[in-house]
Amino acid sequence: MDVKRSSRLKVWMPLLFSMILIAGMVLGFNLRDTLRKKRDIQTVIERNDRLEQIIDLISEKYVDTVNTNVLYEDAINGILSHLDPHTVYITADEYDEVNEDLEGGFFGIGVEFAIIRDTIQVTSVIPQGPAERAGVGLGDQLIKVADSVVAGTGITSERIISMLKGKQYSRVLVTLKDPVSGQFKQVAIKRDIVPIYSVEANLMLDSVTGFIKINRFSATTYEEFEKAIKGLLAQGMKQLIVDLRQNPGGYLDAATNIADDFIDDEKLLVYTQGKSSPRRDYKANRKGLFENGKLAVLVDESSASASEILAGAVQDWDRGVIVGRRTYGKGLVQEQYDMEDGSGLRLTIAKYYTPSGRSIQRSFAKGKDAYAADFAHRFETGELTGQDTITKEDTTVYYTAGKRVVYGGGGINPDVYVPYDTSRLSSGIFNVTFSDNVKNFVWDYFMRHRAELGRYKTISQFQSGFDAVALSERYMSTLNSQVRKTTQAVLANTANAQYFRQHLKAQLARILFHNNGYYSVQTKTDNVVQRALESFYNRKYSALIRR
């Protein structure tokens, strides 16, 4: 029996070896195809070793002492310099601060402050926040944090913020001075989450027009937006202005969730695609909160990324009008990878495309310096000031749902172009309006008139009842003769005088009613907002969106 088994094995052995050989060859070819585009792991190790060896040699043998962390960062940045302008390395020291805005909060004490004459004044206390619970009040002056005196020449906002931040539930002892009695008090504050709101303002501009200002797209933006738009609808909103000016972007999901509230059915909102990232479609998938009312989206040269996704979806579906100036032109998608040392890499992995198929990324073929200088170039050519037509970086034609022609590359071109108000760009009105004298005056006026200002219970009462002319005259009376003479010369221009008065009133409204107060006043003289309002009431709106 054993002899027969041995004979059978001898017969089958060559065949078995042949099958193993064939299987190995097939597996080998498959692995070759799979790994063809992947870097050999030994090469990775060797290249990493080379970098390590060079830095170790410099550290051990170089004539002077060097910071090896700086060498590593320079090496990384050297590698990234060959990629696009938006792939960036985030050091461990920068990591938390860079991500705070996108995550929508940090751990602190919950106050806003201004440095007035080298003294830190508490200008706002977050309701129900750590500072309010500890007894900190509006107008309190911050004198010490722990044992460190923070009042005096040379104090900076950055230093104060770093001292007040800390781990959740950790305690910080602060010394405050009451602005009225002059008495000092020590308060122990338990740090907790402090929200960073991305919906900066939401208010009614008139009986039917809502206004929402979004300054970034963070993890909490849609939740904030949903709450804001529901509140405006409850107040009778029929048409909406969404202000995305100076909004650098953020999370793509936040932008598509908002777009979903404006655009109906299963329509495509945006899609992304890259060499190693398969196409991914983002579509409207629910009943939106505002799918039918008139809509205007405000943009400018600093509206980027997620802002352009939202504006592009609205424009391509002819859902509303885009008002302002050509957007930044960032059509690249980054994914953040965390490193073991606490640093991070934001790597571009795909491009995004608007529903019509547009990539609005502007060219960086001339290098990163030229890319960064785009704003200056637009200003020099007259694009921002109305002296020239809007530049089309890419003349490739695309079509909106209503067969309007739009263009790719270089940003979203607005439907209603509004140049800079050049009268406000002169050094004279700028220096007068944004001087320390004005900042100090507004704060001092508030502190001296808190009781009488308390009679304004609503923004509308303040808007209609407070005299901005009298406030301007009061300011002029505080100036010395030389400064008053210079200021009067600037304000002799009627438009300058009106703008200055509105600015004073808006800054006071911000103290009284936070950002909603500021924008309720400021939008009255905002030429982009006013053009958006005009577009709602003329035939151009219907013509643009084919309705």
Closest CA to 288 of 267, 272, 303, 309: 267
How confident is the model at residue 31, as a pLDDT? 41
> Are 132 and 280 found together in one domain?
no
Query: In this structure, what is the dihedral angle of CA atoms 17, 22, 25, 30, given to the nearest 10 degrees?
Result: -140
Q: Are residues 246 and 384 both part of a single domain? A: yes
- Tell me what the mean pLDDT of segment 149-175 comes to: 89
Are 373 and 489 in a shared domain?
Answer: no
Confidence check: pLDDT of 273 > 60: yes
| 87: in domain | no
Residues 504/468, Cβ–Cβ less than 8 Å? yes
The verdict on residue 353 lying in a domain is yes
CATH code for position 406: 3.90.226.10
* pLDDT band with cut points at 50, 70 and 90 for residue 98: confident
> 34: pLDDT confidence band, cut at 50, 70 and 90?
very low
In this structure, the answer to whether residues 298 and 163 fall within a common structural domain is: no
* CATH number of 143's domain: 2.30.42.10
Does residue 501 surpass a pLDDT of 90?
A: yes
Q: Is residue 514 part of a domain?
A: yes
Domain endpoint, select from 82, 114, 135: 82
The CA-based angle 488-493-497, given to 5 degrees, is 70
In a domain, 98, yes or no: no
Give, in order, the Cα–Cα distances in Å from 299 to each of 89, 249, 311: 28, 12, 8
Enumerate residues 6+ apart whose C-beta is below 8 A from 393: 329, 362, 363, 407, 409, 410, 411
| 97 vs 134 pLDDT, higher one | 134
Q: Which domain holds residue 512?
A: 424-532
One domain, residues 349 and 332: yes
Pick left, alpha or beta for residue 520 (phi over 0 → left; psi -120 to 50 → alpha; otherwise beta): alpha
522 falls within a domain: yes
CA atoms of 131 and 176, how far apart (whole Å): 12
> What total of structural domains would you count in the chain?
4
Same domain, 430 and 336: no
Confidence at 32, pLDDT banded by 50, 70, 90: very low
Whether residues 278 and 352 share a domain: the answer is: yes
| β-pair type (184-190, 171-177) | antiparallel
Select from 195, 222, 254 the last residue of a domain. 195
Confidence check: pLDDT of 30 > 60? no
Answer whether residue 29 is part of any domain. Answer: no
Task: Answer yes or no: do 384 and 235 share one domain.
Answer: yes
In a domain, 475, yes or no: yes
| Domain contains 367 | yes
- If asked whether residues 402 and 436 sit together in one domain, one would say no
Q: Are residues 155 and 236 in the same domain?
A: no
Residues 398 and 434 in one domain: no
Q: Are residues 184 and 206 in the same domain?
A: no
Task: Indicate the residue among 359, 388, 420 that finishes a domain.
Answer: 420
| 454-500 pLDDT per residue, tens | 999 999 999 999 999 999 999 999 999 999 999 999 999 998 999 99
